[in-house]
A = this chain, B = another copy of it.
């Protein structure tokens, strides 16, 4: 069970605006977060991961307080270890596909399994700049999974994948997330994209 209650001032096209999110996420659930572009969805995920600090807020994950501005608690991103699939992937230009996963995990069995799941076996020695957009996005997902995160944050993580590939990936994802007992929050614009994956949804606006 993860409870989040945060407030942060951001600027949107409507002018200055106070991003407010308060919700609880059951353990193991997959929550879809949606809302207009530029409203603060990415900012919300960054706050959860510890990459951005809200003016006010409290985040409690499985009984552990990650953030409490009132009490002055603010765990570092390293301590939170949330799996994060960045909207712009944030892949490491110096590492091959396999090295990305090895950076996150020493479990070679898991790495092989992930490579197969993402259909990336034949690219395992490629660097990001030699991957197609969809391959880069899959690598970003696999890298986040490799660290067996308790909390997985996905920012538009399926936007570059075609329907067939996405559906196959979702099937595999559900199995692995169950196995890892991961709670997932996914930002997505398209209703269809998270069909059969998300079991709850949260609108930000």
B37 x A160 contact (CB < 8 A): yes
Binary interface encoding of chain A residues 137-172 relative to chain B, with 1 for a CB under 8 A from any of its CBs, else 0 = 010000000000000000110011111110000000
Q: Is A15 an interface residue (CB 8 A)?
A: yes
Q: Is A189 an interface residue (CB 8 A)?
A: yes
How far, in Å, is A165 (CB) from chain B's closest CB?
Answer: 6
A190 x B163 contact (CB < 8 A): yes
Interface size on A, residues (CB 8 A): 38
Other 17 A-B pairs with CB < 8 A, given A159-B160, A192-B192? A11-B122, A13-B119, A13-B120, A14-B122, A34-B162, A36-B164, A37-B134, A37-B135, A37-B162, A38-B131, A38-B135, A41-B132, A42-B133, A87-B133, A134-B189, A160-B189, A190-B192
